[in-house]
């Protein structure tokens, strides 16, 4: 069978396989784009535009607030002239896929026509039938988002939830007590939105951690208020800049006394101690949720760069091995580290790998990651898709892009004689639907149907 024809045939078959989207930032009741800004100024596209010379590289106003029309239009007016310079990128492929398939828009975006396109998208923003149609076209049966974005539960029929709240092992530029501050802001509260990754003014906290007893009390509170009956996962980040060597109580207590003069050494002590203590505290709930962590993307002024040290990978392996009851799932943004993570996953039964996060969400990187994982891991240890999308339009586009890359990888393996066509499609069904169902315990009673 000719390889081009085979790729097309496999892709068409993949479009009938349902997806479970294990990590998003969708908002209940507002699943669709509010305007062109939610499509063209998705944060990864902003990076393309900024690299092309657009003056602004920061994200738009973040949930729970929303960009008003003045902000959205000002940023679009600024960005549109740089669109011709990014038409070669795969992020632009996502934009083009959304506009072509969902909005029947085939023209270039220009300073003269972008407002008409913006109006077209805004017309459908609150149409709940439209959101269900996008889900049907994408064959997304269920998606997981932050529980703080549940709103009134309008979309519980298609959404599962994750707790994304405190980040004990994420670095913030210029800060050295971030782990403590993250825990303080949760102490005495119920789950709410996490802080953003980039520099910002710290909001005031109700309580201050001064002693080791305070750490224990605040951490016990945090573990107690996790809504285990309403979330299927915890979502956090593990920074490659943090030394995760286990820390003794005496070392932690001494570091707390130096908090006002904290530097990189104290930062590592706070993060490593709380990471280990938190995992210990989670063990009684290990059958209730997955410890889902992003890995391999570190902060720059507006977004992140892909970097990951071998030391961090080794320390992560030790941490996972120390907590065999906790189920870990890695969202990896480092192409070069994928082979290492696969070898960890082969020897650590409680570790799985999911999808293609941020700097891995480019076709060539995805194909390498897919091929390595298919060669190295059982299908029940890998999840073939998550979108990290903020709107259903981007979940749709990413689903199309992933299916196309997977079709190419599977077609090549069929040509090599590694799989039959039937085996290839069975494997695809396993990693796109069955594995997220089993690893994340995502319910699948909601059924939507049709094709890409």
DSSP annotation string for 351-419: EEEES--GGG-SHHHHHHHHHHHHHHS-GGGEE------SSHHHHHHHHHHHHHHHHHHHHHHHHHTSS
Q: Going by C-beta distance under 8 Å and a sequence separation of 6 or more, which residues neighbour residue 304?
A: 197, 297, 298, 333, 358, 359
Confidence of residue 443 (pLDDT cuts 50, 70, 90): confident
Q: Please indicate, yes or no, whether residues 323 and 212 belong to a single structural domain of this protein.
A: yes
Residue 7 lies inside a defined structural domain of this protein: no
Structure tokens at 213: 């007893």
Nearest-angstrom CA–CA distance, 329 and 291: 6
User: Has residue 199 got a pLDDT over 70?
Assistant: no
> 174: pLDDT confidence band, cut at 50, 70 and 90?
confident
DSSP lists the bridge partners of residue 296 as none
> In terms of domains, do 40 and 174 share one?
no
Residue 86 in any domain: the answer is yes
Asked whether the CA dihedral 265, 271, 274, 278 is positive or negative, the reply is: negative
Containing H/E element for 146?
strand 140-146
State whether 191 and 302 are in the same domain: yes
Residue with tokens 């709380």: 274
pLDDT score of 195: 85
CA distances for 329 relative to 125, 265, 412, angstroms: 33, 28, 28
Q: Which of 379, 413, 438 is the last residue of a domain?
A: 379
Domain edge (last residue) among 379, 404, 436: 379
Residue 127 reports pLDDT greater than 90 = yes
Q: Rounded to whole angstroms, how far apart are CA atoms 118 and 283?
A: 48
Distances (CA, A) of 289 to 13, 22, 317, 355, 380: 32, 13, 20, 18, 17
Torsion angle defined by CA atoms of residues 251, 257, 262 and 268, in that order, rounded to the nearest 10 degrees: 20
In angstroms, the CA 134 to CA 138 distance is: 6
In this structure, are 235 and 353 located in the same domain?
yes
Q: For the segment 232-255, what is each residue's pLDDT rounded down to a tens digit?
A: 999 999 999 999 999 999 999 999
Whole-angstrom Cα distance, residue 35 to residue 66? 11
In degrees, rounded to 5, the angle at the alpha carbon of residue 260 between the alpha carbons of residues 278 and 180 is 15
- pLDDT at position 198 is 64
User: 328 and 186: one domain?
Assistant: yes
In the chain, the percentage of residues whose pLDDT exceeds 70 is 97
Count other C-beta atoms under 10 Å from residue 225's C-beta. 16
Q: Are residues 78 and 222 in the same domain?
A: no
Angle between helices 90-103 and 114-123 (to 10 degrees): 60
pLDDT digits (tens, 9 = 90+) for 299-335: 888 999 999 999 999 999 999 999 999 999 999 999 9
Q: Is residue 258 part of a domain?
A: yes
Q: Which residue has the tokens 């496999």?
A: 10
- Map residue 245 onto helix, strand or coil: coil
- Regarding whether 217 and 119 lie in a shared domain, the answer is no
| 304 and 372 part of one domain | yes
Q: Which long-range contacts (CB under 8 A, 24 or more apart) does 283-287 make?
A: 283/323, 283/325, 283/326, 285/223, 285/226, 285/228, 286/325, 286/326, 286/327
Provide the residue range defining the domain that includes 83: 33-126
Residue 46: closest CA among 22, 24, 16, 67: 67
Same domain, 86 and 231: no
Say if CB 195 and CB 171 are below 8 A apart: no
pLDDT reported for residue 450? 43
Per-residue pLDDT, averaged over 130-140, amounts to 97
Q: Which of 379, 412, 443 is the last residue of a domain?
A: 379
Query: How far apart, in whole angstroms, are the C-alpha atoms of residue 389 and residue 27?
Result: 10
| 202 pLDDT more than 90 | no
The answer to whether 63 touches 24, Cβ cutoff 8 Å, is no
Specify if 47 maps to a domain. yes
Interval 80-106: pLDDT, tens? 999 999 999 999 999 999 999 999 999
Q: Is the pLDDT of residue 414 over 60?
A: yes
The mean pLDDT of 44-58, rounded to a whole number, is: 97
447: pLDDT confidence band, cut at 50, 70 and 90?
very low
Say if residues 363 and 338 touch (Cβ distance below 8 Å).
no
Task: Based on the fold, state whether residues 176 and 261 are members of the same structural domain.
Answer: yes
Task: Count structural domains, the chain.
Answer: 2
On whether both 279 and 370 belong to a single domain, the answer is: yes
């Amino acid at each position: 069978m000719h390889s081009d024809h085979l790729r097309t045939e496999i892709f068409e078959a993949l479009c009938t396989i349902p997806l479970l989207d294990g990590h998003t930032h969708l908002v209940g009741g507002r699943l669709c784009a509010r305007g062109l800004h939610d499509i063209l100024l998705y944060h990864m596209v902003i990076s393309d535009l900024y690299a092309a010379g657009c003056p602004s590289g920061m994200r738009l106003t973040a949930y729970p607030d929303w960009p008003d029309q003045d902000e959205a239009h000002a940023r679009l007016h600024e960005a549109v002239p740089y669109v011709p310079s990014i038409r070669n990128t795969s992020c632009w492929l996502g934009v083009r896929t959304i506009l072509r398939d969902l909005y029947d828009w085939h023209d270039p975006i220009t300073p003269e026509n972008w407002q008409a396109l913006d109006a077209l998208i805004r017309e459908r923003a609150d149409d709940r039938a439209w959101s269900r149609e996008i889900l049907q076209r994408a064959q997304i049966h269920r998606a997981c988002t932050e529980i703080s974005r549940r709103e009134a539960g309008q979309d519980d029929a298609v959404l599962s939830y994750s707790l994304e709240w405190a980040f004990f092992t994420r670095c913030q530029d210029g800060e050295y007590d971030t782990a403590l501050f993250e825990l303080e802001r949760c102490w005495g509260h119920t789950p709410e939105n996490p802080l953003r990754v980039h520099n910002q003014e710290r909001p005031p906290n109700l309580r201050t951690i001064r002693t080791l007893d305070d750490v224990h009390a605040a951490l016990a509170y945090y573990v107690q208020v996790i809504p285990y009956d309403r979330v299927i996962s915890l979502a956090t980040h593990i920074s490659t800049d943090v030394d995760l060597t286990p820390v003794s109580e005496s070392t932690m207590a001494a570091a707390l006394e130096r908090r006002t003069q904290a530097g990189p050494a104290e930062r590592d002590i706070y993060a490593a101690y709380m990471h280990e203590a938190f995992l210990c505290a989670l063990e009684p709930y290990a059958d209730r949720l997955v410890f889902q962590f992003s890995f391999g993307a570190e902060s720059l002024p507006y977004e992140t760069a892909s970097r990951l040290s071998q030391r961090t990978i080794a320390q992560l392996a030790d941490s996972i091995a120390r907590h065999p009851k906790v189920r870990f799932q890695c969202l990896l943004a480092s192409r070069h580290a994928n082979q290492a993570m696969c070898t960890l996953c082969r020897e650590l039964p409680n570790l799985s790998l999911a999808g293609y996060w941020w700097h891995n969400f480019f076709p060539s990187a995805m194909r390498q990651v897919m091929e390595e994982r298919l060669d190295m891991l059982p299908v029940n240890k890998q999840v073939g898709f998550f979108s990290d999308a903020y709107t259903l339009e981007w979940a749709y586009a990413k689903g199309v892009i992933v299916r196309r890359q997977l079709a190419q990888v599977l077609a090549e393996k069929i040509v090599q004689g590694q799989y039959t066509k039937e085996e290839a499609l069975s494997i695809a069904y396993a990693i796109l639907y069955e594995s997220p169902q089993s690893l994340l315990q995502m319910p699948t009673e909601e059924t939507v149907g049709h094709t890409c």
